[in-house]
Structure 1
Amino acid sequence: MLRFVSFYRFLGWSFVAGLFGTGLLAASFYLYLTPNLPDVEQLRHTQLQIPLRIFSSDDKLIAEFGEKRRSPITIDQVPTKLSQAFIAAEDNRFYEHHGVDIKGLLRAATQLATSGKIQSGGSTITMQVAKNFFLSREKTFTRKFNEILLALQIEQELSKDEILELYFNKIYLGNRAYGIEAASQVYYGKPVAKLTLAEMAMIAGLPKAPSRYNPIANPSRALIRRDWILDRMLDLGFIDASQHLTAKDTPITAVYHGSKPQTEAPYLAEMARKELVEKYGDEAYSEGFNVYLTVNSTLQEAANKAVQKGLEAYDQRHGYRGPEQTISIDGPFADENISTTISNMTNYGDLVIAAVKSVKEDEATLLTKDHGEITLDLNSVKWARPFISINRLGAEPKTVTDVLSPGDIVRVKQTKEHKWMLAQTPKVQGTLVSIEPSTGAIKALVGGYDFAQSKYNRALQAERQPGSNFKPFIYLAALESGSTAATLINDAPIVFEDKNLEASWRPENSSGKFFGPTRLRTALYKSRNLVSIRLLKKTGIRTTRNFVSRFGFDSEALPNDLSLALGSAGVTPMQIATGYSSIANGGYKTTPYFIERIEDSKGDIIFQATPSLTPSAIAKLKNREATNRIELIANVSENKASEVSTTEAGTTEDNYEVNGDTNDSISALTPVAPSYYEAESIIDARTIYIMHSILKDVIIRGTGRKAKALKRSDLAGKTGTTNDQKDAWFSGFNTDTETTVWVGFDQPSTLGRREYGATAALPIWIDYMRVALANTPSATMKQPEGLVTVKINTETGKLAKVGEQNTVFEIFRKENAPQPENIPTSSPTQDSPSTTDDIITAEDIF
């Protein structure tokens, strides 16, 4: 008997010693680890890694950059059933324990003891928060003990809802999705508020093993996990039998939803990304910056379509170059070969990859990458005359077999009438830049046919010769130096001092004809090259170069010879657009900008653009501020009146004045207007007004006549074509919008004999401006003081005499207006058509 008593006593003391030892060991761990634990308070201020997002001015997503897709939400935005699905799957005693679930830990320990492997960690949601925010993922006892201690501390510092919110925003759920909102968008393309019960359970099954239970990669396993969670929700009383049955009968609908932009502006997105990285480094990808651009989504989409349509039209004018490749469609693996080939190719613009399966004389059957089988008839391929050279095409096809053969890999495009047409990816490139002249804000920008095809941003990087598109700046220098729109310059062959120079440079008009003495107005809107050369010589090359630099051109990069008159300088489309903006806005220097503001992850503005504004833009801004202030006063006064009506008369202090100035209570509520600079005036407004009138003639009766299709009286612009038609330009504007278009090959070569600014670039400009100017009032420059309108003789440029027939009204600066012949003038209105100024020396050319 004593032996049994001694044995039980031994067991008892052993148990006590074990408990004491365990407690001592735990205390030792606690004392050792506690000083190294992070401060739980950090969780309240933790910056989650949120990607960089780029938006248009009207809040349309343009692009997202960053390794992790995350869209933080508050606990109030999480549907109750979604919270319950996660609790059922991960921690059904979440609202009962204090951070550590003893039952869960004992279950994990039992599994370890019986199997020799760690099968589950017994982690609560709180412990997972501790691990995800502070600890590594290594499976060690030290990390687990740290996890337990941190979980206990977190429960003391944070509420259950705060812990859940951290968990829902931090947890990794596969496919780069961090947090439940990102997962909802990735797998179902919608926010968590619109998820069905089955979809909620599917997402709740992901934390355990995001790859193993992924509904896209492993749908069968994901389905088992989802149904188990639905069973748990039923057992816990979170759902009823009817909801349970309906959800379990729901098939898997998850598909991958990439971060799809709402507005296609990839060149601008890349510009913004580069700017943010230069400003903030790699943190730009994770700090949750939201960047709002100046571009409008409607105008940007119009620009995209206009450029693509214009380049495709040019490409078709020069014939069909044949299929991109031809594959074998014979044998048992023909369909597989076709599908593999087209699935690995990229669609550009609206052009869709397709493989020709069969061809008859009157139609062909094709398999497309995204639209299944389609047919093309003869009308769909009739444009496809064979390309022979840039200036020569083959015969028009008589049958579909003249164009297509089985196995051809081609591109097709769907028309507005949903009819399919044969197409091809253009080799020619183009760009469009649209600017608000009064502020410099970029409203639309296209850097090429398709960003996926080429990331080279031609709007900023392509230095090309502008040709006649540069002439307005040459003429402005002359007008500012005393010439007038009526000044006569001889349009005649250039006389060379050295006859050998003719072999090096022999300029002529595009028509090859000469028209004799020509007024500057006529010479510019008809784009006479020889007049421009003589005008530059008259004004002076140095004077002109220095003057042109006011419009944003680098004077050192401009040629120091007479070729400057023909636009031989290498300039970018952005530089041209900037220069024309100063013409459009009345002669003020504004700086193009495209980032309006940057907000941090909390929505606080950390950067606000400070543009240079013209006087008209400043006046509009102040008027808008005044209107906002009046509305604010009215709203506040109305609110105060309502308060007075519900209180005793005389007990409410009247802090708001309805008819007069308000006190500081109103001032504090008034929105702070963005800061800005006053734009510098760089030229006499009268000179700019005269140039406006001349450039309007380009559209009314000159090389830009096609623009009359827009049926507006406030448009002005200039075409441009370089030697051998290597570059085609059009820049046009009213005072509200300036747009420049360039078309050419990346490796300069001729566009073809009949391709000019008016045929290749102007149609793109028209298509874009039709949208940009829709429903907008006329925007014409107001006539400044100091101008006079005088009737002149069209042949002499002098003051018209009574009874003369060939007369027109011309605009002059008051001091340059022609006078009666018996009164001497300080500024002649015409040059002799034959003077020594016509002699061209080597120094003028080289």
Structure 2
Amino acid sequence: MPSSSGLGDGHDDGQGQGHGHVSGGRTRFFKSPAWEGIFRWGKRIGLAVAALAILGIVGLIFAVRHFEAQLPSIADLKGNYRPPQVTRVLARDGTLLAELFTERRTVVSIKTLPAHVKLAVLAAEDAGFYEHEGLNYFGILRAFVVNVKSGKKRQGGSTITQQVVKNLLLDSERSYKRKIREALLARKLEQELEKDEILELYLNHIYFGHGRYGIQEAARDNFGKNAKDLTIAEGALLAGLVAGPESFSPRKDMKRALSRRAFVLTQMHEKQFLNDPQYEQANNEPVRLAPSVEINSELAPEVVERARRMLLELDPEGARRGGYTIQTTIDPKLQVAARKALRDGLLAYDKRHGLTGALKVPVAPTASKGKPAKPAAKDAPFEGTPSFEKHKVLIGVATGADDAQGTIDVKVGTVTGAVKLADYERYNPQGLAASVFAPVGSLLRVSLLAPVPEEARTNITTTTTSTPLAKVPLRLESGPEGALVAIDTRTRNVLAIVGNYEAQNGGLDRATQARRQPGSTFKPIVYSYALHSRIFTPATLIDVTPAAFGNYKPSNYEGWTASDPLRLREVLANSVNVGAVRVLEQVGPANVVEWGHALGIQSVLKPDLSLALGSYEVEPIELCGAYATFAAGGMYEEPRLVTKITGPDGREVALKPQAPPRRVLDDAEAYVTTNMMTSVIDHGTGARAKELRRPLAGKTGTSNQSKDTWFAGYSTEIAAVVWVGYDDGKPLGGGESGAQTALPAWISFMKVAHENKPPSEFPRPAGVVSVRIDKQTGKLPTEGNDANTMDEVFLAGTEPTESGPANVLVGGDGGVPGPDPSASETQ
């Protein structure tokens, strides 16, 4: 026992003693001051690391919350994605008239896209899209390493979710702060939106090159089809564009585009998105690019502008975002014919008046009696500072030219402007150099295209720079302008609108935005009321000799000298002014004002005798609407240009309600009015239109001094109005009239409009009777006087019932106040 006790104490056994020594040494070592110090510092470091870790976590939480507080809302992306889209304006047959957009995009639902299109984009951009939670951590790490090594931001590790965040929610700043916000938003987006919703946002928003955004526009641009109809190869080619829309464009570099397509297809094959036969077929499929669609911007800019304004009025906020389809009533063939007809008519005028080719430097007038000669006021250059707001036509002096730029320098008062000659081929068909077309000293009619800058008003350059002042852009106004509008008489759909020669976007549409004196084209409105009143018939005899009507003294056009009374039909056919005034005096100007408004003339009309000669200005489209009412049997209906607007969501936008159709004349009154107007073409001022060889009714119009020339007329199918004149009211010159200046364009248009259509007679309704009358008396012919007779139409109950001497309407000295003396002559 003791011995074992001794062994236990380590005193009797050497080995045991040795073990006891080691054990005791270890205890003494761990209790040494050095080890205790290390242990204490280890504990301190551990605690510090833990504290720092906690602080880091807390700091990270606060940092995340700080960034989250500044993050943009993603609520608008969920079910309310409204990016800028294309608004399309279509003709009645679906022809594209224009595309209006800030970004050329058409949003489509991901449900309409074939699986292979979606898979192609995933293979090219983010194959793990449906597996990750918005962030590709390996990609981010790889990009971080590359960026650190290069010292610059060269690579991104963006997923499709991150790209959606970057493009739709964040600005374009390239910083690590932005990258943090991007990552946070990506996670948030993944939590609130389904994967398909995120992919739909991506496919509709990304840029595909050539100004096209989204998969639908890319498909249309490259292949002329909708995205839902893309083949596997086509989908792969488009998916490859995302990485470099311009560099991989098949229209720019087909070799690179095919190489990129092959890469995408290989990715799809390796990821088992395609089986072997699909891969082989797609890889060998030839690229069939659609021809570039060039919209004819000159076809109908007037229509596009009216459609744009209508949409803006109906939906101001939505219109700015786009995505609408606007269906118009325009017939593309007739629109082309209308533009050509008007241009040809204006070019013919230019040729008659020597407005094409090089301008001539005016010869100074000869002085007389020791006084310096002055040019006529109408030819004198403008003095002072021109105003853009007044939009006046001014006379300037050519001071130089830049043949390389094709511009003419023109001094207009205190301002120097520039005319870009290439925009006015109308006056320079030979393509003369600017210096040859407008020699120094030649005079040009111009108007301002932009306001005059403040510094240019004083015509002084600053002392701190020798840079010359920018020249004010000018519009060349050498020749007259014109308008043509055509309406379907049955539907009142507007078939064509031309409001200027140039066909420029934003140009003045004189068919719907300008008012001019209609001259004698207003007379049928007067005569139709006269028939309606039952006071007059086509056979009523009118005294056409000049007379005074109070302070108003109208004269007949070009010195009409006939002294014998004329039947109302002939007064209309020959456009006799005095006869029109006599009729208006008899039926009452106030009644005709009300009648004109009922026929659709919304412009101001005043109840004085000058109304008979068309002294009050109207829009061409208003006049055309009135004539269409005659053609349609007396029922007025507002002309219609837009039939349907469909929104981005596929729903129709409610159009502004039109006034219901209203009856103005009964069908018998309308027929007799029309029948009287056929005489204008049969043997009157519009006889040139007989070349169309079909029943037509119409009326020429020429305002005082030939400032405005018109022809308004119709067939059973189409009513059309043509106006020609200078914007500033400059006279068109000797020999110019409605028959000479406006009618040829009307004939050209109507010839195309009735091509391959058989002639159709104006239908004769009940309530009209035909009676043989004596041409001189307007009554029944006397016995044995058959040679000087004709058949005339009457409203039932107004036809003559007896023969005998003529009853002549003699008026004058009525003293009707307030006429407009500017309409003393008209045709």
Q: How does the TM-score come out when normalised to structure 2?
A: 0.71
Alignment of 1:576-655 (within 5 A): 576-608=623-655, 610-611=657-658
Per the alignment, do residues 815 and 465 of structure 1 end up closer, same or farther by CA in structure 2, a change over 3 Å counting?
same
Alignment of 1:253-332 (within 5 A): 260-261=295-296, 264-323=299-358
Per the alignment, do residues 70 and 494 of structure 1 end up closer, same or farther by CA in structure 2, a change over 3 Å counting?
same
Tell me which of 810, 832, 840 is aligned to 2:808.
Answer: 832
Conservation of the 8 A alpha-carbon contact between 1:306 and 1:767? yes
Tell me which of 540, 560, 568 is aligned to 1:487.
Answer: 540
Alignment of 1:690 with 2:675, yes or no, is no
Tell me which of 582, 601, 611 is aligned to 1:564.
Answer: 611
Alignment of 1:675-824 (within 5 A): 677=660, 679-713=661-695, 715-776=696-757, 780-805=761-786, 806-820=788-802
How far is the alpha carbon of 1:80 from its aligned partner?
Answer: 7.4
- Supply the AA of the counterpart residue of 1:63: A
Q: Distance in 2 between matches of 1:226 and 1:164?
A: 25
Per the alignment, do residues 454 and 133 of structure 1 end up closer, same or farther by CA in structure 2, a change over 3 Å counting?
closer
- SS of equivalent to 1:114: helix
Conservation of the 8 A alpha-carbon contact between 2:88 and 2:99? yes
Q: Distance in 1 between matches of 2:234 and 2:671?
A: 64
Conservation of the 8 A alpha-carbon contact between 1:489 and 1:830? no
- Supply the AA of the counterpart residue of 1:550: A
Per the alignment, do residues 111 and 265 of structure 1 end up closer, same or farther by CA in structure 2, a change over 3 Å counting?
same
- SS of equivalent to 1:284: helix
Tell me which of 525, 535, 538 is aligned to 2:586.
Answer: 538
How far is the alpha carbon of 1:228 from its aligned partner?
Answer: 6.5
How far is the alpha carbon of 1:107 from its aligned partner?
Answer: 0.9
Cα deviation, 1:711-751, whole Å, max 9, x if unaligned, reads: 223x2111112222222111111343211111111122232
Conservation of the 8 A alpha-carbon contact between 1:85 and 1:230? no
How far is the alpha carbon of 1:787 from its aligned partner?
Answer: 2.8
How far is the alpha carbon of 1:170 from its aligned partner?
Answer: 0.7
Per the alignment, do residues 796 and 242 of structure 1 end up closer, same or farther by CA in structure 2, a change over 3 Å counting?
same
Q: Distance in 1 between matches of 2:76 and 2:815?
A: 80
Q: Distance in 2 between matches of 1:204 and 1:63?
A: 28
Alignment of 1:434 with 2:434, yes or no, is no
Cα deviation, 1:481-509, whole Å, max 9, x if unaligned, reads: 21111100112232577xxx7xx845123
Q: Distance in 2 between matches of 1:389 and 1:547?
A: 44
Q: Distance in 1 between matches of 2:744 and 2:783?
A: 44
How far is the alpha carbon of 1:224 from its aligned partner?
Answer: 7.5
- SS of equivalent to 2:802: coil
How far is the alpha carbon of 1:589 from its aligned partner?
Answer: 2.5
Per the alignment, do residues 63 and 389 of structure 1 end up closer, same or farther by CA in structure 2, a change over 3 Å counting?
closer
Conservation of the 8 A alpha-carbon contact between 1:726 and 1:751? yes
- Supply the AA of the counterpart residue of 1:177: R
Cα deviation, 1:350-396, whole Å, max 9, x if unaligned, reads: 99977469xxxxxxxxxxxxxxxxxxxxxxxxxxxxx9999xxxxxx
Q: Distance in 2 between matches of 1:443 and 1:183?
A: 33
CA RMSD of aligned residues (A): 4.8
- Supply the AA of the counterpart residue of 2:316: G
Per the alignment, do residues 232 and 59 of structure 1 end up closer, same or farther by CA in structure 2, a change over 3 Å counting?
closer
Partner residue, 1:421: none
- SS of equivalent to 1:45: coil
- Supply the AA of the counterpart residue of 2:682: I
Q: Distance in 2 between matches of 1:446 and 1:141?
A: 57
Q: Distance in 2 between matches of 1:155 and 1:352?
A: 63
Conservation of the 8 A alpha-carbon contact between 2:590 and 2:606? no
How far is the alpha carbon of 1:454 from its aligned partner?
Answer: 7.3
Per the alignment, do residues 750 and 130 of structure 1 end up closer, same or farther by CA in structure 2, a change over 3 Å counting?
same
- Supply the AA of the counterpart residue of 1:466: P
Partner residue, 2:9: none
Q: How many residues align?
A: 689
Conservation of the 8 A alpha-carbon contact between 1:437 and 1:590? no
Q: Distance in 1 between matches of 2:300 and 2:155?
A: 47
Tell me which of 66, 78, 99 is aligned to 2:134.
Answer: 99
- Supply the AA of the counterpart residue of 2:504: A
Partner residue, 2:198: 163
Conservation of the 8 A alpha-carbon contact between 1:792 and 1:800? yes
Partner residue, 1:394: none
Partner residue, 2:449: none
- SS of equivalent to 2:743: helix
Partner residue, 1:182: 217
How far is the alpha carbon of 1:117 from its aligned partner?
Answer: 3.2
How far is the alpha carbon of 1:163 from its aligned partner?
Answer: 3.2
Alignment of 1:2-401 (within 5 A): 38=73, 42-75=77-110, 86-87=121-122, 89-141=124-176, 143-155=178-190, 160-173=195-208, 176-183=211-218, 231=263, 234=266, 237=269, 260-261=295-296, 264-323=299-358, 346=422, 355=431
- SS of equivalent to 1:694: helix
Alignment of 1:519 with 2:501, yes or no, is no
How far is the alpha carbon of 1:695 from its aligned partner?
Answer: 1.0
Conservation of the 8 A alpha-carbon contact between 1:50 and 1:286? yes
Q: Distance in 2 between matches of 1:352 and 1:564?
A: 40
How far is the alpha carbon of 1:692 from its aligned partner?
Answer: 1.1
Bigger-Rg structure (1/2): 2
How far is the alpha carbon of 1:47 from its aligned partner?
Answer: 1.9
Cα deviation, 1:630-676, whole Å, max 9, x if unaligned, reads: xxxxxxxxxxxxxxxxxxxxxxxxxxxxxxxxxxxxxxxxxxxxxxx
Cα deviation, 1:678-728, whole Å, max 9, x if unaligned, reads: x22123432222111111222222222222222223x21111122222221
Conservation of the 8 A alpha-carbon contact between 1:597 and 1:609? no
How far is the alpha carbon of 1:820 from its aligned partner?
Answer: 2.6
| Range with greater deviation from structure 2 (21-30 or 559-568) | 21-30
Alignment of 1:445 with 2:426, yes or no, is no
Per the alignment, do residues 443 and 228 of structure 1 end up closer, same or farther by CA in structure 2, a change over 3 Å counting?
closer
Q: Distance in 2 between matches of 1:551 and 1:571?
A: 12
| Range with greater deviation from structure 2 (140-149 or 163-172) | 140-149
How far is the alpha carbon of 1:518 from its aligned partner?
Answer: 0.8
Per the alignment, do residues 47 and 808 of structure 1 end up closer, same or farther by CA in structure 2, a change over 3 Å counting?
same
Cα deviation, 1:22-80, whole Å, max 9, x if unaligned, reads: 76666555666668674568434312221332222222222222321112234476687
Q: Distance in 2 between matches of 1:188 and 1:314?
A: 46
Unaligned runs of 5+ in 2: 1-28, 362-401, 409-418, 434-441, 446-475, 821-827
Q: Distance in 2 between matches of 1:228 and 1:66?
A: 30
Q: Distance in 1 between matches of 2:602 and 2:76?
A: 55
How far is the alpha carbon of 1:795 from its aligned partner?
Answer: 0.6
Q: Distance in 2 between matches of 1:684 and 1:229?
A: 70
Q: Distance in 1 between matches of 2:403 and 2:249?
A: 28
Conservation of the 8 A alpha-carbon contact between 2:338 and 2:498? yes
How far is the alpha carbon of 1:130 from its aligned partner?
Answer: 2.6
Conservation of the 8 A alpha-carbon contact between 1:205 and 1:226? no
Cα deviation, 1:292-351, whole Å, max 9, x if unaligned, reads: 22222222222222212222222223335324899xxxxxxxxx9758779976556999
Q: Distance in 2 between matches of 1:246 and 1:348?
A: 51
Per the alignment, do residues 554 and 63 of structure 1 end up closer, same or farther by CA in structure 2, a change over 3 Å counting?
closer
Q: How does the TM-score come out when normalised to structure 1?
A: 0.70
Q: Distance in 2 between matches of 1:350 and 1:189?
A: 35
| Range with greater deviation from structure 2 (129-138 or 733-742) | 129-138
Q: Distance in 2 between matches of 1:484 and 1:792?
A: 12
- SS of equivalent to 1:97: coil
Conservation of the 8 A alpha-carbon contact between 2:709 and 2:742? yes
Q: Distance in 1 between matches of 2:43 and 2:406?
A: 78
Cα deviation, 1:553-592, whole Å, max 9, x if unaligned, reads: 358x335433222222222212211221222222222222
Partner residue, 1:401: none
Conservation of the 8 A alpha-carbon contact between 2:554 and 2:577? no
